[in-house]
Amino acid sequence: MTIAIFFVTFFFMEFVAWFTHKFIMHGLLWNLHEDHHTHTNKSFFEKNDAFFLIFAIPSMILILVGTIKVLPIALAIGFGIMAYGFCYFLVHDVFIHQRFKWLRNTDNFYFRAIRRAHKLHHKHISKEDGECFGMLIVPFRYYKTEFEKLSKSASK
């Protein structure tokens, strides 16, 4: 049961990330997210990095409460949020934006589709007219385009 809750939480976090990105980051808290689009901050850190804490704090609280009170459901939810955050970090900060030079280019159509969708998201430097607010799941057309590109290059 707790394993199922972990995975449901992990997958639900994609919706939470999409919703937060579309309506909070590109809305009420644009002042924290703006430097991520405009690159006006010349430091390694961005104001946008504050969102790490916004998501990490509930995860840490749930893990702490779940450990102290022996609540497996709280632990599963806390670790599900943490696992999603770690994947988000690897995909967004490491793979897409290359803030850390651990992962480079790939021929995997899934990762290429995610990168393409995110580049289109960053094409818009204002908070309006955005597109592709998800991270691990993006519109099917990006997967299709990248799969077709890889198929063509493999047949050459």
Per-residue H/E/C for the chain: CHHHHHHHHHHHHHHHHHHHHHHHHHHHCHHHHHHHHHCCCCCCCCHHHHHHHHHHHHHHHHHHHHHHCCCHHHHHHHHHHHHHHHHHHHHHHHHHCCCCCCCCCCCCHHHHHHHHHHHHHHCCCCCCCCCCCCCCCCCHHHHHHHHHHHHHHHHC
Encode pLDDT of 61-74 as tens digits: 999 999 999 999 99
Which structural domain range is residue 101 located in? Answer: 2-155
Domain count, the chain: 1
- 40-44, 85-89, 114-118: which has the minimum mean pLDDT? 40-44
69 vs 151: which has the higher pLDDT: 69
Looking at residue 156, what is its pLDDT? Answer: 67
Of 113, 109, 111, nearest to 153 by C-alpha is: 109
- pLDDT exceeds 80 at position 100: yes
Predicted confidence band of residue 52 (pLDDT cuts 50, 70, 90): very high
Looking at residue 40, what is its pLDDT? Answer: 83
Looking at residue 106, what is its pLDDT? Answer: 82
> Residues of the chain with pLDDT > 70: what percent?
99
- pLDDT exceeds 90 at position 15: yes
- 52-56, 109-113, 151-155: which has the minimum mean pLDDT? 151-155
Encode pLDDT of 128-137 as tens digits: 878 889 889 9
pTM: 0.90
51 vs 150: which has the higher pLDDT: 51
Instruction: Give residue 14's identity as a one-letter amino acid code.
Output: E
Looking at residue 105, what is its pLDDT? Answer: 78
